[in-house]
Structure 1
Amino acid sequence: MAVRPASSDDIPFLKELYRALRFDEVAAISWSPEERQDFLDSQFDLQHRHYVAAFPRADFLLIQKGAAPAGRLYVDRSIDAWHILDIGLLPSFRNRGIATALLTRLQSQASETRASGISLHVARDNSGALRLYRRLGFVEDGESETHFRMRWGVRCVSP
């Protein structure tokens, strides 16, 4: 597994990934496949523009398994407590230890550079991700109607 900076050449893959990650959210809507793809592509475009504008110093990384693109990791390391904006893998690459390896590597880097910790947001109904984050020592420290905010690091207080 490797990560590298994403480039504009990766946009087609990143759109494919976004569609795979969000398909279930729109599957029940009575749209044609083309309408569904157009909607998800427009949502990707909006999200991508927002991330780039709101987090200009973030690292936008492409995750690869061998030569194959497998996912994305967007992380802002420009602040004392690093923030994971997004981590996502294609379904065919999930449950292979890739996210665990990426997150433990990020935790090691945060410790080495004396970052105060790492934060992220996760959907309340994403039970697999919640299990992973808890197993890696992330604790919930805030919530909204749809998401939990989780933190890992020296300033985290265990529940």
Structure 2
Amino acid sequence: MLFRPIGDDDLPFLSALYASTREGELAASGWPDAAKRDFLAQQFAAQHTHYMRHYPGAEWLIAETGGRAVGRLYFVRWPRDVRIIDIALTPAARNHGFGTAMLGDLIDEAGAERKTVSIHVERMNPALTLYRRVGFEIAEDKGVYLLLQRQVNTAS
């Protein structure tokens, strides 16, 4: 898997990727497809603007394999923590080890710098299983969201 910085040309892919992560929630809404598309486009634009404004210095990366974009990885390095802002894969790329590899790279990098890795995750996110499997634990319960943290590995 290769990573490259996002560019303006990636916005349609990123919007579609965002929509793919929310399809399950909206399936039961009863909304017409056009209303779902409009809502998801608006939500993506709001999220993208928020991320860019509130995480200066973050890395905004597209994950590629075989020359195709398959996901995004957004994170920021703070003095004691690497905060994952967002990580997402296309439906076709899920459950193939890409998420584990992406997290493993960040965990290794953070561990070398003696930093924790953290992420806010919705309580019902199916990726919670993955986060727990790679060593994340609940650091704080924020209601709808959980703050998960992967401590520095002190064994090495």
Aligned counterparts of 2:9 and 2:144: Cα–Cα separation in 1: 33
Residue 123 (1) aligns with residue 109 (2): no
Write the mapping of 1:1-159 to structure 2, written as runs, cut at 5 A: 1-114=1-114, 116-127=115-126, 129-154=127-152
CA contact (8 A) 2:111 2:153 kept: no
Please identify, of 116-125 and 22-31, the stretch whose mean Cα deviation from structure 2 is larger. Answer: 22-31
The structural deviation recorded for 1:23 is 1.3
Aligned 8 A contact 1:57 1:78 in 2: no
Distance in 1 (CA, whole Å) between partners of 2:28 and 2:128 is: 25
Deviations 1:70-118 (A, max 9, x none): 111110114421100111111110110001111111111112233x211
Q: Deviations over 1:22-54 (max 9, x none)?
A: 112222223221111011000000000000000
Gaps of 5+ in 2: none
Cα drift, residue 2 of structure 1? 1.1
**d(CA) in 2 for partners of 1:80, 1:154:** 10
List gaps (5 residues or longer) in structure 1.
Answer: none
State the Cα RMSD in Å.
Answer: 1.6
SS at 2:31 equivalent: coil
Paired residues in the alignment total: 154
